[in-house]
Amino acid sequence: MTLDPTSGRTDAGRLPHRLSEALDQFARLPRILVAMDFDGTLAPLVDEPMDARALPGSSELLSGLAALADTLVAIVSGRDLATLRELSGMGEPLVLIGSHGVEGSHYPTAPGADTAERARFEALDEDLAEMIRAHPLARIERKPHSLVLHTRGLSDQDAEAAVRAAEAVLTRHTGLVVTPGKGVLEMATQHVGKGTALHDLAREREVDAVLFVGDDVTDEEAFAVLPPPHVTIKVGSGDTVATHRVADEADVQLVLRELLARRRAD
């Protein structure tokens, strides 16, 4: 599905009518899961990944929803779990899911890496370290189960050259899940996916429906496995399978504020 990029905010401080109607129906359900991506959804995108912070007021809105009966709230991110905790500043009762579903604050134990995965990670890390010396403006982020090439803030020419070099490295490696995104190329040695993680959480907590908001390629998998009566919202422009769209992170706050008001009213 391709949604009209102009179909975001209809008026200053207002959401599209169709989205408002969907939120009204969603708020009336007995038990719901409200799930948010972090970067580009709660937090504006920045060149330096560790500088990302959610817009002021986001934490209060999510905490307000989580305090309501039968309302589960989760942040689902590609960030590793420790970094997601640090940057979001959020924790229980919210559920934090990191590394595209590999890590979760609700998991009884942290996922481990077996000998084969450790070998894949170390070999890839070594080759990428060599590659990055030829492209010093790009950066490699090391997560517990993936390595990420960051090119945000680079010129188009430098970014394309770094991605091509990383893709050449990948031809020498197997057993990886490679996911492009906005200024990133993630190479995972262990992968679950946001869609699978959300589906499993919703089933475990026996919710009636999920609202999920995201902005990037990795969020499309979750949009695809959450058809109506689930509510899926794409942030920003670009093709999407989400059923709704908003313009930016400020509009995401409007979604949360409207949902909180309607859930409290019911």
Which CATH superfamily, name and number, covers 115-188?
Answer: Trehalose-6-phosphate phosphatase related protein; domain 2 (3.30.70.1020)
pLDDT tens digit string along 129-157? Answer: 999 999 999 999 999 999 999 999 999 99
pLDDT tens digit string along 22-35? Answer: 999 999 999 999 99
Cα–Cα distance measured from residue 196 to residue 245, given in angstroms and rounded to the nearest whole number: 22
Q: Are strands 231-235 and 95-98 parallel, antiparallel or unpaired?
A: unpaired
Mean pLDDT of 96-105: 94
Asked whether this chain's domains 17-109+192-265 and 115-188 adopt the same fold, the reply is: no
Which token pair is 147? 């390595």
Is the CB of residue 79 less than 8 Å from the CB of residue 85?
A: no
Q: The tokens 């093709």 sit on which residue?
A: 239
Cα–Cα distance measured from residue 66 to residue 93, given in angstroms and rounded to the nearest whole number: 7
Map out the domains of the chain as residue ranges: 17-109+192-265, 115-188
pLDDT band for position 12 (cuts 50, 70, 90): low
Which token pair is 123? 């070999």
Is the CB of residue 203 less than 8 Å from the CB of residue 242?
A: no
Which CATH superfamily, name and number, covers 17-109+192-265?
Answer: HAD superfamily/HAD-like (3.40.50.1000)
